[in-house]
């Protein structure tokens, strides 16, 4: 392996990571991932499947020599896309939301790309060997699958209900947890609503397309009046076509900017929630240990106290990492949301201007069409 | 009025036959000049002719006529009614005389039309007040005026007393031909004159037959027949001789003249209407009147015009929905059979109206009322933009008169129901007409076009409906999104981001408003437009059917004539002179009918053609207008959108 020097930072630049291509073979999507070496101008390109991404995520979860690992907000990996045609659109939508939209998995690739960039830009995670090998090694690293991460989401879900409401000792975390619950819920709702809007816009575009096409049926060149009417119909068809493109554009603007942004936001909130939950679990563990130590008999007390100290140390470490992470997360998510919002607004503004111009041209043409 | 008008037509028929016969003899030449001069006023025509007749060769006739007139005048109601009850049908259809046909297309002026139509064959059919009045005035005159009586007598006389008829007929025919040919300026008067004439011919033919053979007619004319029986042999022969000469030349003239002038007239009319059309009608202020199930919506119908036909420049009346339906029914009764495209009134919606009646102020019933209001407005605008319908007294009355008699029949039969009936009849007819081999390529193509178009429009309508639904859905979803963004903003910690998000929620709210407006714009500009035109196309098809019926009538008559001729040939072969005369009478009668029907068919064809051309033009104009309207609305909302985004952009950039 190239970057075998254990503690060496990532050998490629985080910002250069791109998913340049995606190919679909049956149910399997293969992504081409290109990145730029830090110390040279050479580019690296590898092909990865979703399983490789999953392997990377699990490796990050189970990274051993990282203190306070559990306090880290892991960049969220989108869930697996099932591209088989038999899978209905609605099912994919339910599972992936915005990421199922867009042509040729463009938004899904964007999300994966963003995931990789976030991992690579993370001050702790970027040192992970798994990431380096994922980005650079031409062979697929994800052979040793079976290795389930310590944070199994399924088992988590069961305990969640019980531990979620556990009162925190630290006000900061208590607040953060409350806010996170709110934000996670509302960002999820917002994402869903925006998704509905986009879907409707797409439907509207399709309906416009049908309308525009049907208008061509009315064309008839028999006599003067019919020709005049046909002209009107064709004009209308053009106009409706323009409306259709307008909606397509608006929908894709929504999708490519705010849609992805909200989706990312909501997944990140989930990720933060998981981190907070892990911390809460540790807290509960610590409290049980404390209780045990108090009750313990003298001969065992020493062992218990040592154990308690270890847990406490771990918990404090997690808390401090978590604090940093939360701070980092807040500033970065605001930045990310800002970029998406600005990009969205600009795109929509341009689209609106472009089509206003187009409509006024059409209007002019219509007025001069024939005055008889 | 209707009753009178119905009765009136028959008289002509009777007189006609005699006229024809007579024409050949003496009267024709003599009266041509005189009749023309008198022709100036339609009403006068009737009055004058009698005088002329009396003064001229007809003197003999006059005496007879007068006697008869005297007899007939008192009796008109009873006798005429009986006499013509059956004949009316035939006559009315037959009535379209060649000459009549010409005038009709030419007749730009409505007043002229009405009288003519009434006089010709329409009176029986049309109940229109105008027709009635004209007819009544002309035909029966007022009981008060003796002169009128005399005027009428000629007709009456001619009709009933066939013996006297000959003289009358002569006059009418003579007048007609000369007038039409001679004076272009007098067209209207001539037409009026001519109108009566054609009928006479048709009726005369029938009457002549009755005299000779027909049992039915005989009953009708029982009185006449008795007298006629003596004359009949002569008349019949004369008719035979006369008819070929008269009818044959007349038809070509009619057709040729009708076509050439009709086009130029159309153009003139078009220009005229475009230049002078200044009539704005708006339907506003829907208001619920009454309570419970007896409640109804009243609408304010305001008219603004500089047309001189109206009493003032602006006026306002209150009308309820059934009044609109009543107007439609009156108009369609009067005009659709002549091949006019009568715009269909909005459909009655029991469900929608019940909601309005029962419901309080709920949005769906408000939407319903607004939709109906707009539909009624469009309906009226379509009616008045039709040059002939605008002249209809019922339309004027509808717009001007303070109180309208309650339209009753509409309660059960709404516009939709009526159209459905029409369509059913249409289908039945169209099955029959598979036999009709269309000689006119234009019609052949047009009928096909209309059918295709209707299908296309239906398809488009479905598309637009789904478009509108999607728009509504979009606006609903946008509202939800705005709400969720507001929620997100409120739970956001970062002040700048929170502010931006709540701004965004506001933007989305406004966009939702825009989308809602756009949805209703789409609906009113396209969906309703298409629905209107789908129903209008139904009316167009109705016109084609009317034409088809006319054709059918003509063909039936043609077949009948053929049969009669064969019968005559058989009689000749069998050498049965006693029945031969009767057969000849019948042939003459049917020949006249064939001519009549053919002319009528041509007249309807011309009208339908004109109407369809007008309809097509109107349609293109209408659609164009709507597109412009639509584009304006789309452009407007796009500009609003630009404003919103421009306002939001700094907010987004301000996020720290």
Is the pLDDT at B297 greater than 70, yes or no? Answer: yes
Tokens matching residue A16: 């250069």
Q: Give the start-to-end residue ranges of the domains of chain B.
A: 277-413, 442-655
A118 and A224 in a single domain? The answer is no
Rounded Cα gap, residues A287 and B31, in angstroms: 129
The CATH number of residue A48's host domain is: 3.30.1520.10
Could you tell me the sign of the dihedral formed by the alpha carbons of A95, A97, A100, A105, in that order?
Answer: negative
CB burial string B282-314: b at 16+ within 10 A, e below: bbeebeeeeeeeeebbbbebbbebeeeebeeee
**CA-based nearest residue in chain A for residue B475:** A197
Give contacts of B632 with chain A, Cβ < 8 Å.
363
A9 in contact with B at a CB cutoff of 8 Å? no
Residue A361 has a CB neighbour count (10 Å cut-off) of 13
Instruction: Say if residue A358 is in the same domain as residue A291.
Output: yes
Q: How buried is B428 (Cβ within 10 angstroms: 0-12 exposed, 13-18 middle, 19+ buried)?
A: exposed
Q: What is the structure's pLDDT at B476?
A: 92
Kindly state whether residues A147 and A159 are assigned to the same domain: no
Whether A132 and A186 map to the same domain: the answer is no
**Residues of chain A neighbouring B494 (CB-CB closer than 8 A):** 330, 334
Query: B487 in contact with A at a CB cutoff of 8 Å?
Result: yes
For B601, how many CA atoms within 13 A lie in the half-sphere containing its CB? 22
Helix, strand, or coil (residue B283): strand
A78, two tokens: 């989108």
Count CB atoms within 10 A of the CB of residue B401.
Answer: 12
Residues of B in contact with A196 (CB under 8 A): 477, 480-481
- Percentage of residues in chain B with pLDDT exceeding 70? 50
Residue B7 CA to residue B17 CA, distance in Å, equals: 17
Long-range CB contacts (< 8 A, 24+ apart) of B484-493? Answer: B484/A186, B484/A189, B484/A190, B484/A192, B484/A193, B485/A190, B485/A193, B487/A186, B487/A189, B487/A190, B488/A183, B488/A186, B488/A187, B488/A189, B488/A190, B491/A179, B491/A182, B491/A183, B491/A186, B492/A183, B493/A179, B493/A330
Collapsing DSSP states into helix, strand and coil, what is residue B655?
coil
Q: Domain range holding A114?
A: 1-151
Mean per-residue pLDDT of chain B? 64
Inter-chain touch B467–A233, beta carbons under 8 Å: no
Question: Cβ of B1 under 8 Å from any chain A Cβ?
Answer: no
A352 and B638 within 8 Å at the Cβ level: the answer is yes
CB burial readout B215-244, b (16+ within 10 A) else e: eebbebbebbbebbeebbeebbbbbbebbe
Q: If you measure CA to CA, which chain A residue comes closest to B492?
A: A183
Burial class from Cβ neighbours inside 10 Å (0-12, 13-18, 19+) for residue A54 reads: middle
Angle between helices B198-212 and B76-94 (to 10 degrees): 110
pLDDT digits (tens, 9 = 90+) for B39-77: 444 444 444 444 444 444 444 444 444 444 444 344 444
Indicate if A35 and A86 belong to the same structural domain: yes
To test the contact with chain A by mutation, choose from B504, B627, B647, B653 the residue with the greatest count of A C-beta atoms within 10 A, namely B627
> Residue B423: how many CA atoms within 13 Å on its side-chain side?
14
Domain end, chosen from A112, A136, A151, is at: A151
> Using an 8 Å Cβ cutoff, are B96 and B196 in contact?
no
**Residue of chain B nearest A357, judged by CA positions:** B635
Sheet of A43-49, strands arranged across: A18-25, A28-36, A43-49
A194/A276 same-domain check: yes
Topology at the third CATH level for domain B442-655: Substrate Binding Domain Of Dnak; Chain:A; Domain 2 (1.20.1270)
CB count, 10 Å around CB of B336?
Answer: 18
- Tokens coding A79: 């869930």
Give, in order, the Cα–Cα distances in Å from A81 to each of A32, A38, A51, A153: 16, 31, 11, 18
In the predicted model, what is the mean pLDDT of residues B634-639? 91
Are both A196 and A273 inside the same structural domain? Answer: yes
How many domains, in total, are found in chain A? 2
pLDDT value of position A100: 73
- Beta strand B296-305 with A18-25 is unpaired
Q: How close A123 gets to chain B, by Cα (Å)?
A: 22
Residue A205 to residue A207: CA distance in whole angstroms: 5
Average pLDDT over residues B436-452: 77
Q: Do B463 and A210 touch (CB under 8 A)?
A: yes
- B643 reaches A (C-beta below 8 A): no
Q: Tell whether the model's pLDDT for residue B278 goes beyond 50.
A: yes
A132 and A160 in a single domain? The answer is no
Alpha carbons within 13 A on the beta-carbon side of B478: 23
Distance CA B645, CA B656 (A): 19
Whether B477 has its CB under 8 Å from any CB of chain A: the answer is yes
Classify domain B277-413 at the CATH superfamily level: Phox-like domain (3.30.1520.10)
Q: Do B646 and A341 touch (CB under 8 A)?
A: no
Record: contact A330-B481, CB cut-off 8 A: no
Query: Closest chain B residue to A337 measured between Cα atoms?
Result: B497
Q: How far is A335 from chain B (nearest CA, A)?
A: 8
Specify the DSSP element, H or E, that contains A25: strand A18-25
Which of 225-264 (B) contact A at CB < 8 A?
none
* Residue showing tokens 């478009």: B467
Give contacts of A 219-258 with B, CB under 8 A: 220, 222-223, 225-226, 228-229, 231-233, 235-236, 239, 243, 246
The dihedral built from the CA positions of residue B545, B124, B254 and B340, taken in this order, carries a sign that is negative
Asked if the Cβ–Cβ distance from A207 to B500 is below 8 Å, we say no
Give the best-scoring range by mean pLDDT among A177-186, B150-159, B197-206.
Answer: A177-186
- Given pLDDT bands bounded at 50, 70 and 90, which one contains residue B352? low
| Helices within chain A (DSSP H only) | 50-61, 89-96, 106-121, 129-136, 153-164, 171-215, 224-254, 260-295, 298-367
**Which residues does chain B have within 8 Å of residue A200's beta carbon, measured at their own beta carbons?**
470, 473-474, 477
Q: How far is A54 from chain B (nearest CA, A)?
A: 30
Q: Using the beta-carbon criterion (under 8 Å), do B616 and A196 form an inter-chain contact?
A: no
**C-alpha to C-alpha distance for A115 and A273, rounded to whole angstroms:** 17
- More confident of the two residues A298 and B32: A298
Whole-number pLDDT of residue B646: 92
> Does A28 contact B at CB distance below 8 Å?
no
Cα nearest neighbour of B646 on chain A: A349
Distances, alpha carbon A82 to alpha carbons A29, A110, A116, in Å? 9, 16, 20
Which of A151, A176, A210 is the last residue before a domain boundary? A151
Q: Going edge to edge, which strands form the sheet with B314-320?
A: B279-289, B296-305, B314-320
A158 and A138 in a common domain: no
A residues 324-363 lying closer than 8 A (beta carbon) to B? 330, 334, 337-338, 341-342, 344-346, 348-349, 352-353, 355-356, 359-360, 362-363
Q: Which residue of B has its CA nearest to A181?
A: B491
pLDDT of B480 reads 92
Element (H, E) at B451: helix B441-490
Instruction: Name which of B491, B500, B637, B656 to mutate to probe chain A: the one with the most chain A Cβ atoms within 10 A of its Cβ.
Output: B491
Point out which residues pair with A48 in neighbouring strands: A31
Closest by CA position to B644, among listed B510, B518, B443 = B510
- The predicted structure's pLDDT at residue B32: 41
pLDDT band at B423 (very low <50, low <70, confident <90, very high): low
Q: Does A211 touch chain B (CB under 8 A)?
A: yes
**Spatial contact of A335 and B496, defined as CB atoms under 8 Å apart:** no
Question: B11-25 vs B198-212: helix axis angle to the nearest 10?
Answer: 90
Which residues of B are less than 8 Å from A215 in CB distance?
460
Cα–Cα dist B165/B27, whole Å: 12
Q: Out of B497, B624, B632, whose CB is closest to A337?
A: B497
**Residue whose C-alpha is closest to residue A59's, from A153, A142, A117:** A142
Q: Do A366 and B627 touch (CB under 8 A)?
A: yes
Q: Residue B643 — pLDDT band, cuts 50, 70, 90?
A: very high
Domain boundary among A94, A120, A151: A151
Query: Does the pLDDT value for residue B526 go beyond 70?
Result: yes
Kindly indicate the confidence band of residue B34, based on its pLDDT and cuts at 50, 70 and 90.
Answer: very low
Higher pLDDT, B101 or A107: A107
The pLDDT assigned to A84 comes to: 59
Contact A349, A249 (CB under 8 A): no
DSSP string over B488-530: HHHT--SHHHHHHHHHHHHHHHHHHHHHHHHHHHHIIIIIHHH
Distance from CA of B629 to the nearest CA of A (A): 9
Q: What is the mean pLDDT of residues B515-524?
A: 86
Mark whether A146 and A199 lie in a shared domain.
no
Q: Is residue A267 within 8 Å of A183, Cβ to Cβ?
A: no
CA distances from A270 to A76, A190, A259, B483 (A): 8, 14, 17, 21
Contact B645 A200 (CB under 8 A): no
**Which of A197, A235, A369 is nearest residue B478 as measured by Cβ atoms?**
A197
Of the pLDDT bands very low, low, confident and very high (cuts 50, 70, 90), residue B233 is very low
Q: What value does the mean pLDDT take over residues B516-537?
A: 87
Whether residue B450 contacts residue B537, with contact meaning beta carbons closer than 8 Å, is answered with: yes
- Could you tell me the CATH number of the domain that includes residue A353? 1.20.1270.60
- Mark the ranges of chain A whose per-residue pLDDT is less than 70: 1-10, 82-93, 95, 102-103, 140-164, 222, 370-372
Angle (nearest 5°) at CA B89 between B84 and B92: 95
pLDDT at residue A92 in the model: 66
Model ipTM value:
0.85
Contact state of B642 with A207 under an 8 Å Cβ cutoff: no
The beta-carbon neighbor of A360 closest among B470, B635, B641 is B635
> CA B202, CA A159: separation in Å to the nearest integer?
102
Do A124 and A215 lie in one domain? The reply is: no
What would the two tokens of residue B52 be?
Answer: 């002329």
Same domain, A133 and A246: no
Calculate mean pLDDT across residues B343-353. Answer: 77
Sign of the Cα torsion B478, A80, A48, A72 reads positive
Tell me what the mean pLDDT of segment B347-351 comes to: 74
Q: Do residues B193 and B39 make contact, with C-beta atoms less than 8 angstroms apart?
A: yes
Rounded (5°) CA angle B222-B174-B88: 35
Distances (CA, A) of B48 to B5, B39, B120, B186, B469: 20, 8, 18, 16, 67
């Amino acid at each position: 392996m190239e970057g075998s020097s254990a503690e060496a930072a990532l050998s490629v630049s985080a910002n250069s990571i791109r998913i340049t291509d995606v190919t679909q073979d049956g149910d399997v999507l293969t992504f081409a991932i290109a990145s730029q070496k830090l110390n040279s101008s050479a580019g690296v390109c590898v092909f990865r499947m979703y399983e490789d991404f999953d392997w990377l995520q699990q490796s990050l979860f189970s990274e051993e020599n990282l203190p306070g690992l559990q306090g880290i907000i892991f960049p969220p990996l989108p869930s697996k896309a099932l591209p088989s045609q038999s899978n209905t659109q609605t099912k994919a939508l339910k599972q992936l939301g915005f990421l199922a939209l867009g042509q040729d998995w463009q938004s899904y690739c964007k999300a994966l790309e963003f995931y990789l960039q976030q991992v690579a830009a993370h001050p702790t995670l970027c040192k992970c060997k798994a990431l380096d090998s994922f980005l650079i090694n031409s062979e697929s690293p994800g052979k040793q699958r079976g290795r389930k991460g310590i944070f199994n989401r399924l088992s988590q879900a069961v305990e969640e209900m019980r531990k979620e409401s556990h009162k925190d000792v630290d006000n900061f975390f208590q607040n953060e947890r409350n806010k996170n619950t709110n934000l996670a819920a509302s960002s999820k709702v917002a994402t869903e609503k925006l998704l509905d809007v986009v879907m409707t816009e797409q439907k509207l575009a399709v309906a416009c397309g049908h309308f525009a096409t049907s208008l061509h049926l009315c064309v008839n060149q028999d006599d003067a009046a019919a020709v005049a009417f046909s002209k009107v119909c064709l004009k209308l068809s053009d106009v409706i076509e323009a409306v259709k493109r307008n909606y397509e554009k608006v929908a894709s603007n929504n999708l490519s900017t705010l849609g992805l942004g909200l989706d990312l936001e909501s997944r990140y909130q989930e990720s933060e929630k998981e981190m907070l939950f892990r911390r809460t679990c540790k807290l509960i563990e610590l409290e049980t240990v404390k209780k045990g130590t108090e009750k313990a008999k003298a001969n065992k007390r020493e062992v218990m106290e040592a154990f308690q100290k270890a847990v406490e140390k771990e918990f404090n470490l997690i808390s401090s990492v978590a604090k940093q992470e939360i701070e980092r997360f807040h500033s970065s998510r605001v930045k990310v949301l800002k970029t998406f919002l600005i990009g969205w607004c600009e795109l929509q503004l341009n689209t609106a201007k472009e089509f206003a111009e187009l409509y006024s041209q059409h209007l002019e043409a219509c007025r001069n069409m024939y005055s008889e | 009025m209707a009753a009178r008008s119905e009765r009136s037509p028959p008289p002509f028929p009777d007189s006609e036959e005699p006229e024809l016969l007579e024409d050949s003899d003496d009267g024709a030449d003599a009266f041509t000049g005189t009749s023309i001069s008198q022709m100036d006023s339609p009403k006068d025509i009737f009055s004058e002719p009698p005088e002329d007749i009396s003064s001229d060769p007809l003197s003999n006739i006059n005496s007879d006529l007068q006697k008869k007139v005297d007899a007939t005048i008192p009796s008109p109601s009873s006798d005429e009614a009986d006499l013509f009850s059956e004949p009316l049908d035939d006559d009315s259809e037959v009535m379209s005389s060649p000459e009549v046909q010409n005038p009709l297309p030419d007749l730009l002026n409505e007043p002229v039309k009405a009288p003519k139509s009434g006089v010709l064959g329409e009176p029986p059919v049309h109940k229109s007040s105008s027709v009635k009045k004209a007819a009544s005035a002309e035909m029966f005159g007022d009981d008060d005026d003796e002169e009128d009586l005399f005027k009428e007598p000629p007709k009456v006389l001619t009709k009933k007393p066939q013996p006297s008829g000959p003289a009358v007929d002569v006059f009418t025919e003579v007048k007609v031909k000369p007038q039409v040919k001679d004076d272009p300026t007098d067209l209207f008067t001539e037409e009026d004159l001519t109108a009566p004439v054609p009928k006479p011919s048709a009726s005369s033919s029938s009457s002549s037959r009755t005299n000779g053979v027909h049992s039915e007619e005989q009953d009708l004319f029982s009185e006449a027949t008795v007298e006629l029986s003596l004359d009949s042999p002569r008349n019949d022969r004369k008719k035979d001789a006369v008819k070929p000469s008269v009818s044959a030349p007349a038809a070509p003239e009619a057709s040729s003249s009708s076509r050439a002038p009709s086009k130029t007239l159309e153009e003139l009319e078009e220009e005229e209407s475009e230049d002078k059309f200044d009539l704005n009608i708006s339907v506003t202020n829907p208001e619920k009147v009454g309570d419970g199930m007896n409640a109804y919506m009243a609408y304010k119908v305001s008219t603004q015009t500089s047309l001189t036909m109206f009493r003032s420049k602006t006026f306002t009346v209150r009308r309820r929905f059934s009044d609109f339906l009543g107007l439609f029914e009156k108009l369609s009764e009067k005009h659709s059979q002549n091949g006019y495209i009568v715009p269909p009134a909005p459909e009655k919606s029991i469900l929608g109206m019940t909601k309005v009646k029962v419901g309080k102020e709920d949005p769906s019933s408000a939407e319903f009322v607004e939709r109906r209001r707009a539909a009624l407005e469009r309906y009226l605008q379509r009616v008045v933009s039709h040059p002939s319908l605008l002249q209809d007294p019922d339309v004027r009355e509808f717009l001007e008169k303070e109180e309208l008699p309650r339209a009753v029949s509409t309660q059960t039969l709404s516009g939709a129901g009526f159209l459905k009936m029409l369509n059913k009849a249409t289908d039945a007819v169209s099955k029959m007409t598979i036999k009709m081999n269309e000689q006119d390529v234009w019609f052949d193509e047009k009928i096909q076009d209309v059918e295709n178009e209707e299908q296309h429009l239906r398809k488009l309508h479905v598309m637009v409906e789904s478009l509108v639904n999607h728009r509504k859905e979009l606006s609903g979803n946008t509202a939800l999104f705005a709400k969720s963004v507001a929620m997100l903003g409120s739970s956001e910690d970062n002040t700048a981001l929170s502010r931006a998000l709540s701004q965004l929620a506001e933007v989305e709210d406004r966009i939702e408003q825009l989308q809602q407006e756009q949805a209703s714009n789409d609906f009113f500009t396209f969906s309703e437009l298409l629905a209107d035109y789908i129903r209008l196309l139904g009316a167009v098809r109705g016109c084609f059917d009317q034409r088809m019926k006319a054709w059918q009538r003509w063909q039936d008559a043609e077949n009948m004539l053929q049969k009669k001729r064969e019968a005559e040939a058989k009689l000749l072969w069998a050498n049965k002179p006693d029945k031969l005369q009767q057969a000849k009478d019948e042939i003459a009668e049917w020949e006249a009918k064939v001519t009549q029907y053919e002319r009528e068919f041509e007249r309807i064809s011309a009208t339908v053609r004109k109407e369809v051309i007008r309809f097509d033009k109107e349609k293109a104009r209408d659609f164009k207008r709507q597109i412009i309207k639509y584009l304006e609305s789309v452009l407007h909302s796009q500009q609003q959108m630009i404003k919103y985004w421009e306002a939001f952009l700094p907010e987004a950039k301000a996020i720290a």
